[in-house]
Amino acid sequence: MASEAEPQVATADESFEGVSPDAARRLLLGAVEAFAERGFHATTTRDIASRAGMSPAALYIHYKTKEELLFQISKVGHERSVGVLAEAAEGGGGDSERLARAVRLFVRWHAEHHTTARVVQYELAALGEEHYEEIVGLRRRSEEILRGVLESGHASGEFEVTDLRGTTLAVMSLCIDVARWYSPSGRRSPDEIGALYADLVLRMVAPRARRGG
């Protein structure tokens, strides 16, 4: 049995593998868990520290404020998700293939890393002003990547997109909202959800069949 002072960070998230020293990473993982469960403002620094198996004061050796923890999570999380999206969109194949792959992997990331994703997507408002601006820049990039694929497919006639910005936003919405409702105890695996959503998105942009004559 672990004593109360032992680290309790259960769901290790490889997104933060690179963070060192070890104590700083454990604090980050504890914060992800706590922020995802209860939200930034409802989480106490005591809670974070105790999940990392440390005293309340130890947090401040590695992070200046509680907000800085949120910022680090937000930054790494956004970088990871933008990276997934960029890689999928830049990969080979036609525009349908690129779009399907982008949606599938972006959705899968939001399901697999739903704790991190929840913090990333829903705790933005708690960031300080400068940190917020930096994160908004990263968010713009993911939107641009997706819009690029849709635009390319529309130009080539592979897609039919009547409202480019609106459709981009809708597809982003679909993917992001997965973080809100996904649960590992649900019926579907992250990959299955990704495949389903990729199919739905392809149908959203498929050229309409010419009807009648």
User: Using CB under 8 A as the criterion, which residues of the chain lie in contact with its own copies when the complex forms?
Assistant: 37-42, 121-122, 125-126, 162-163, 165-167, 169-170, 173-174, 176-178, 180-181, 187-188, 193, 196-197, 199-200, 203-206, 208-209
Task: Assess contact for 178 and 110: CB atoms under 8 A.
Answer: yes
Q: Are 130 and 74 in contact (CB under 8 A)?
A: no
DSSP state of 156: T
| Alpha-carbon gap, residue 39 to 66, rounded angstroms | 12
DSSP 30: H
Shortest Cβ 58–its own copies spacing (Å): 24
Query: Which of DNA, its own copies, none does residue 163 bind (CB under 5 to 8 Å by kind)?
Result: its own copies
Residue 74 as a binder of DNA (CB under 7 A): the answer is no
19 interface partner picked from DNA, its own copies, none, CB below 5 to 8 A per type: none
Alpha carbons 7 and 51: distance in angstroms, whole number: 6
Residue among 171, 195, 17, 188 at smallest CA distance from 105: 195
**Cα-based distances in Å from 50 to 33, 68, 92, 127, 213:** 12, 18, 46, 23, 70
**3-32 positions binding DNA, by CB under 7 A:** 5, 21, 23
Residue 146 vs 205, nearer CB to its own copies: 205
Residue that is written with structure tokens 């956004």 in the block: 78
The option from its own copies, DNA, none interacting with 206 (CB < 5 to 8 A, set by class) reads its own copies
Nearer to its own copies, 86 or 204 (CB): 204
Of 29-68, binders to DNA (CB under 7 A) are 43-46, 49, 53-58, 60-62, 64-67
List of residues contacting DNA (CB under 7 A): 5, 21, 23, 43-46, 49, 53-58, 60-62, 64-67
